[in-house]
Structure 1
Amino acid sequence: MPSRRHDLLAWAIPRMRRSRELVSPDEERARIEAWHRTLEPRLPTQAVRRFDRRFSVVTEMVPGPAGTFPSYVVTPRHSDPRTTVVYLHGGGYVAGIDPFHVRYLARLADALDARIVVPDYPLAPEHTWRDSHEELADLAGRWAKDSERLVLAGDSAGGGYALALALTLRDRGGPQPDRLLLISPWVDLTTSTPETEEFSGRDPWLFLGKLREYAAWWAGSPDDLGRPEVSPALGDLAGLPPALMFCGTRDTLAPGCRLLDRRAADTDWDLAYVEVADLVHVYPLLPLVPEAEDAWSRTLEFLR
């Protein structure tokens, strides 16, 4: 049974954010594009106490087909990390880096004595996967070459993106990630799994109409929705590095995670799937929640 704090956050967060289902695709697109025009490229560090005293940040500009975009390299001060975590943030491919992403990554940096690389990749609907995928694969491949250990990680859309990049790196050859960490990943943007409607009915955070529209924007065309760069659960999963994946069952994305788990079992891929009943989307990122602390302990055990 979920903790009271989990259920409080599951109830409160969508109300604080005034979340609601899609009204119309045109209205949603206009709303998000207007919001994007107000955003400034930056790393939101306000959820981490004394961030500037504890970490140094270097901003690298990544060239892409639609122009350059930033990638933030966060390193614990007075440290020479051997491990690099390339982390792809979630947000349905339409939202940028959140303070709670930074809070989680600061914990990872401290616990693993790790360098954290956070690309601020171009967002939909103005951009598609084609505007950053190859460039981020180049970035991850460079860190795989230059680090003793590379962890490729992400939550929600970023978890799907991390897996898609792992597939590309495998196909390219060369240095590979040592581990994959996938937190409630969005791995099937076709929403083809038949249980998706049922799970969506219990999800207080994600709205299926919006997810389908965001997926179409990110893919750019219906023909690209099923590509492994967009829906990596539908790709060839053989030969990937060991992975740990979390998901709850009050999550519209759970059927896609189950699909990925079933397909992984038919290959040589070592995927450990942790599914917890009645927990919401990206529950391992929730602050001060017992279920998140259990996920944290499993994550450190896996990554160490």
Structure 2
Amino acid sequence: MPSLRHDLLATLIPKVRKSRDLDTEPAERARVEAWHRTLDRSLPVRATPGFRKKWDVEVADIGFPSYVLTPRSGRVHRTLYYVHGGGYMAPIDAFHVRYATRLAAAIGARIVMPDYPLAPEHTWADSHDALVADAAHWAGEDGGAVLAGDSAGGGLALAMALSMRDRGLAPATSLVMHAPWVDLTTSTPETHDVDAIDPWLFIGKLQAYAGWWAGSPDDLGRPEVSPALADLAGLPRALMLHGTRDLLHPGCRLLVRRAAEAGWDLTSIEEPDLIHVYGLLPLTPESARAFRQVVEFVR
């Protein structure tokens, strides 16, 4: 049974973020594009106490900014390559930075966090090759790289792992995905049923954002966009965490089935009645448990 704190956040977060389904796709596109013109794309660190004292930040240019965060303690044994979520249309959030710094500190890692171009102005094709090459570079460094992401970022991390495999590049040591968006075709019929119980995500927006990121209906099913539909054999060992009050969880279950068919070592933790990316929520027993599970897995 979910904790009271989880259920409180499940009520508050959609209200704070003014979550609602779209009116029309053109209106949503215009809204998002107008919002993008106002964005400050600097790294948001306000949710991370003592950030400036604990982390040095460099900005690499890989065709777009990629933040490299190094702990001032000097205790670096590997890299955490973290790909942020946000429906492919939202930038890095302060809670992405908070989570990544906590995880990196626990496993002795630097952080690489790419600020990839956003939809609808951009599609997967504008960043995929650069992300794959950059992740493979860090995977080839001493200690290797843990490839991780949440929501859209979790799906993108899986798509990157597929391309790293197919191109014969250095693989990540492991893959961690929080409620990844892995099937942008929405081919799982259960998705429409879950739409009625998810307080945060909405099917209309899911379909609009998927179309923007794909760029073309013909590209919705390709591995770079919907990695759950690809050949999953030969990927790094992976951990996936998701709840059942999440519009993306039918896609996560699809990934579990296809992983078993491919013989891919995927550990799936499904939590009843928990919301989208519950593992990144602040100060809940469920997120604390998820954090321990991730640290144990990647250690």
TM-score range, shorter chain: over 0.9
Secondary structure of the residue aligned to 1:58 is strand
> 2:16, 2:92 → 1: CA distance?
18
Alignment-derived partner of residue 56 in structure 2: 56
Alignment-derived partner of residue 91 in structure 1: 86
- CA RMSD of the aligned region, Å? 0.7
Seq. identity, %: 61
Alignment-derived partner of residue 248 in structure 1: 243
State the one-letter code of the partner of 1:151. V
Alignment check: 8 A CA contact 2:179 2:249 kept: yes
Unpaired runs of 5+ residues, structure 2, are: none
Q: How does 1:1-304 map to 2 (within 5 A)?
A: 1-63=1-63, 69-304=64-299
Secondary structure of the residue aligned to 1:141 is helix
Query: Please, which moves more after superposition, 76-85 or 17-26?
Result: 76-85
Alignment check: 8 A CA contact 2:41 2:91 kept: no
State the one-letter code of the partner of 2:203. L
> 2:140, 2:2 → 1: CA distance?
42
The Cα of 1:80 is off from its aligned counterpart by 4.5
> 2:183, 2:242 → 1: CA distance?
14
State the one-letter code of the partner of 1:147. D
> 1:147, 1:92 → 2: CA distance?
32
Query: Please, which moves more after superposition, 153-162 or 38-47?
Result: 38-47
State the one-letter code of the partner of 1:3. S
Alignment check: 8 A CA contact 2:183 2:229 kept: yes
> 1:94, 1:44 → 2: CA distance?
16
> 2:259, 2:104 → 1: CA distance?
29
The C-alpha deviation readout for 1:259-296, integer Å capped at 9, x for no partner, is: 00000001221000000000000000001100111111
Secondary structure of the residue aligned to 1:175 is coil
> 1:134, 1:157 → 2: CA distance?
17
Secondary structure of the residue aligned to 2:121 is coil
State the one-letter code of the partner of 2:261. D
Unpaired runs of 5+ residues, structure 1, are: 64-68
> 2:17, 2:84 → 1: CA distance?
18
The Cα of 1:41 is off from its aligned counterpart by 2.2
> 2:122, 2:99 → 1: CA distance?
26
Alignment check: 8 A CA contact 1:154 1:181 kept: yes
> 2:189, 2:202 → 1: CA distance?
16
Alignment check: 8 A CA contact 1:79 1:113 kept: no
Alignment-derived partner of residue 66 in structure 1: none
The C-alpha deviation readout for 1:171-229, integer Å capped at 9, x for no partner, is: 01131101000000000000010101011111000010001000000000000000000
Secondary structure of the residue aligned to 1:278 is coil
State the one-letter code of the partner of 1:58. E
What count of residue pairs does the alignment treat as equivalent?
Answer: 299
Alignment check: 8 A CA contact 1:75 1:109 kept: no
State the one-letter code of the partner of 2:200. W
> 1:265, 1:113 → 2: CA distance?
31
Q: Which runs of 4+ in 1 moved over 2 A?
A: none
Secondary structure of the residue aligned to 1:12 is helix
Alignment check: 8 A CA contact 1:153 1:181 kept: yes
Secondary structure of the residue aligned to 2:140 is helix
> 2:184, 2:25 → 1: CA distance?
17
> 1:193, 1:50 → 2: CA distance?
43
Alignment check: 8 A CA contact 2:238 2:265 kept: yes
